[in-house]
Structure 1
């Protein structure tokens, strides 16, 4: 009888552990320093949008010397508990210097048992943005908090990060391609090989990258053309343990998928940006297909397409319309060859459509209509899924309208974004993109 009882308990434990390991949560990275003006209701609004996209939680990037961490975190956790949403910390060791070990312990002890704090089993999940030089601190931090530690130490090799002996997994910030070619999963495989079995990998997904913040000595772009949908397909093929979206609200680096919010634009003034390159550059369209992608990632099967829809994104200025603002393509500080930015991005309107079957697409720029094609289609012709394509600007300016039709009937249409123009804000190229949806 005893043996049967213990066998039953063991089976429940193994089932519970397998469910923890197989949950495949998707998180979005949030820069807490941008939301100092947020009340609980502001957090709740963003959480509602994230939950509607099937995002499981926010990763809270916090800087060591940010005096607003206290009220910001209290508001975030109150909102997350109200909305049954998960949060965990990413301790930023670069923004304002390394975190003192004692402060990390205090925060994890204060919030780690909160019902809204994300846990791996019973262990509070903890990450970082960089900080490998402080790896030894995490022996004590883990001992005193029970943390499940999955840092981003992308400045050193994955093998060296594992060799510290303190990590339970790794997160990579390498979410953008080097140069004019599209991204691959080769860097992800490097992490998987180094981690081996028993340690988790968080795979990064990002839609775009452009930053021009002289106060932080930042002014470069990485190729974002076709990145979002290509990367999600790689997630479905690679099957990581977790996914982290970069980011929800990093407007300064143009890879936000959350809503535009005037309360979060202070960075453009404090970092001496030449202009606010997020203004009117909504990225909400990149959330449109997230329920489809996240459902496919978690289930491992093709979800049904319940709503046929379309997404389109483009830069507002042709690449050579104005001065490039000193922006480089790539960044030599990452060991990359710097190129003129116009060699990394294309003057195109990119579009994708979530469809049950093939369709036609056309793009109007200022009333000049081009018939487009879907150059990337779901596996197995005639299948439901995401179709992708693009058309060039062809010297056209004005309002952009992308229309998907089937049998002469409109299936989905994207419009309402800023028109393409050769007139640039402050006479400088805006290398950010607008992304809208039907």
Structure 2
């Protein structure tokens, strides 16, 4: 499988980029390949002209393009003009970048509220018969905050430390694996033990930050977002300072949220009538109403 990030404008003196890529793919005949690039087209119908593509990958479908929840429409807009060729979907947990005009000049968010990562996975699983594969996006773009997994110190983009350092996203990997198994098989896997996955923006929008608020900041709300996997029904409690909530939750997967209004540290618990359950107080998992700078990266934690 060969994919790309962009490349639709590469012509190298030929009539069009389809011919360029055809020449490249033909040169790999000794090693047959399946070409499924992430080209960027304003009009998806252009896909009909790119006969070199064995399939397509709509990179930007991984996030909502406006002030609305993630949906399957961007994927659908590519599946139709591909005309039966393969479609690879992308799924991403987050997006925030805060570079100044003196560096990469990128300062914006996409809407990741409302359990976007989980909701998108569930959409893809519901449409799995129309998708040949799913790509996790990404494993190493720390500067845009959509890394899945750990930080690798020597590979982080320069000038991103202010919103990247300390924001390891390894806690998302087990949730990713849960959904990936459901996508592969069509059945959600059995839950072997109670788990709580938490994420939040660590700050609100009142920072004394010379760079200014990121574009689209007004789309988001100050909430703690929780995805809970339970072996049996239980009462789940979330708390951050004076804000607390308690829910009677069935077995399986549930999504909960808690408003954040003051400086506070997060705790969570699971309780059952027979005394079983757990307490979860992730270290450093805090929310601040008076941050020194804007940080809409995701602080993520998962119970053992």
TM-score range, shorter chain: 0.7 to 0.9
| 1:436 corresponds to 2:292 | no
Cα distance in structure 2, aligned partners of 1:302 and 1:293 = 7
1:360-403 Cα shifts (integer Å, max 9, x gaps): 2222224x3512448xx8xxxx4x4321010101x221321122
Q: CA deviation at 1:171?
A: 0.6
Query: SS in structure 1 opposite 2:23?
Result: helix
The structure 2 residue matched to 1:188, chosen from 52, 75, 80, is 75
Report how many residues are paired: 286
1:117-147 Cα shifts (integer Å, max 9, x gaps): xxxxxxxx11111111222211111111033
Is the Cα–Cα contact under 8 Å of residues 262 and 289 in structure 2 kept in the other structure?
A: no
The structure 2 residue matched to 1:268, chosen from 144, 152, 158, is 158
Q: 1:201 to 1:423 in 2, by over 3 A?
A: same
Cα distance in structure 2, aligned partners of 1:386 and 1:412 = 18
Q: Which residue number corresponds to residue 220 of structure 1?
A: 108
Q: CA deviation at 1:195?
A: 1.3
| 1:370 corresponds to 2:258 | no
Q: 1:150 to 1:162 in 2, by over 3 A?
A: farther
What are structure 1's unaligned runs of at least 5 residues? 1-124, 330-338
Q: What TM-score do the two structures reach when normalised by structure 1? A: 0.61
Q: CA deviation at 1:324?
A: 7.9
Cα distance in structure 2, aligned partners of 1:268 and 1:398 = 31
Q: Which residue number corresponds to residue 147 of structure 2?
A: 256
Cα distance in structure 2, aligned partners of 1:327 and 1:245 = 28
1:24-60 Cα shifts (integer Å, max 9, x gaps): xxxxxxxxxxxxxxxxxxxxxxxxxxxxxxxxxxxxx
Cα distance in structure 2, aligned partners of 1:287 and 1:130 = 27
Cα distance in structure 2, aligned partners of 1:306 and 1:430 = 35
Query: SS in structure 1 opposite 2:140?
Result: coil
Query: SS in structure 1 opposite 2:270?
Result: strand
Q: CA deviation at 1:209?
A: 0.4
Q: Which residue number corresponds to residue 184 of structure 2?
A: 298
Is the Cα–Cα contact under 8 Å of residues 202 and 287 in structure 2 kept in the other structure?
A: yes
Q: Which has the higher helix share?
A: 1
| 1:421 corresponds to 2:274 | no
What are structure 2's unaligned runs of at least 5 residues? 11-16
Is the Cα–Cα contact under 8 Å of residues 359 and 404 in structure 1 kept in the other structure?
A: yes
| 1:163 corresponds to 2:49 | yes
Q: CA deviation at 1:232?
A: 0.9
The structure 2 residue matched to 1:353, chosen from 203, 214, 228, is 228
| 1:399 corresponds to 2:265 | yes
Query: SS in structure 1 opposite 2:232?
Result: coil
Q: 1:236 to 1:414 in 2, by over 3 A?
A: farther
Q: CA deviation at 1:216?
A: 1.6
Cα distance in structure 1, aligned partners of 2:40 and 2:69 = 20
Cα distance in structure 2, aligned partners of 1:306 and 1:352 = 15
Q: Which residue number corresponds to residue 13 of structure 2?
A: none
The structure 1 residue matched to 2:205, chosen from 311, 315, 319, is 319
The structure 2 residue matched to 1:229, chosen from 85, 108, 118, is 118
Query: SS in structure 1 opposite 2:27?
Result: helix
Q: Which residue number corresponds to residue 129 of structure 1?
A: 5
Q: Which residue number corresponds to residue 93 of structure 1?
A: none
Cα distance in structure 2, aligned partners of 1:318 and 1:264 = 28
Query: SS in structure 1 opposite 2:4?
Result: strand
Is the Cα–Cα contact under 8 Å of residues 153 and 161 in structure 1 kept in the other structure?
A: no
Cα RMSD between the aligned structures?
A: 2.1
Is the Cα–Cα contact under 8 Å of residues 204 and 244 in structure 1 kept in the other structure?
A: yes
Cα distance in structure 2, aligned partners of 1:414 and 1:291 = 23
Q: Which residue number corresponds to residue 22 of structure 2?
A: 139
1:200-257 Cα shifts (integer Å, max 9, x gaps): 1111101110011231221111111111110111111011110011111111000011
Is the Cα–Cα contact under 8 Å of residues 267 and 280 in structure 2 kept in the other structure?
A: yes
Q: 1:327 to 1:289 in 2, by over 3 A?
A: same
Q: CA deviation at 1:416?
A: 1.6
Is the Cα–Cα contact under 8 Å of residues 289 and 354 in structure 1 kept in the other structure?
A: no
